Amino acid sequence: MKRVPFNAQNPNGPLEICLCTDCGAVLMLDDKQHRIRVAVPNVMGYHDSFPAPSYHAFWDETKGYAKPSDSRPVFGGLQPSFVWPANA
């Protein structure tokens, strides 16, 4: 597994994308501070029957990507009701 910064503009930030060293597929998003790990089902090859996400996270209009238009809420980070777990 290879780890790369989640945000190239903040390479020392706490989040990393974990990639397969053989094929380059995204495996998960990991937090160096051990607060959260996120699996991305559609990227990881789960079937369409896997429950759909309830919102889009980390959308950044400065990147030039089109804003998702599938009627799910779109946030620049995690949804506002999300609370980071306390550090152990």
Model pTM score: 0.56
One domain for residues 1 and 42: yes
2 with 28, same domain? yes
Q: Give me the pLDDT at residue 44, please.
A: 67
CA 74/CA 23 separation, integer angstroms: 29
pLDDT tens column, 18-43 = 888 998 877 888 888 887 777 777 66
Q: Do 5 and 41 belong together in one domain?
A: yes
**Does residue 60 sit in the same domain as residue 26?**
no
User: 42 and 2, same structural domain?
Assistant: yes
Domain range for 33 is: 1-46
Q: Is 33 in the same domain as 69?
A: no
- The SS3 of residue 37 is strand
Residues 4 and 38 in one domain: yes
What are residue 31's DSSP bridge partners?
15
Beta strands in the chain, from DSSP E residues, in sequence order: 2-5, 15-19, 26-31, 37-38
Please tell me the total count of domains within the chain: 2
Q: Which residues pair with 26 in a beta bridge?
A: 19
pLDDT tens digit sequence for 51-81? 877 888 888 888 788 888 899 999 988 888 9
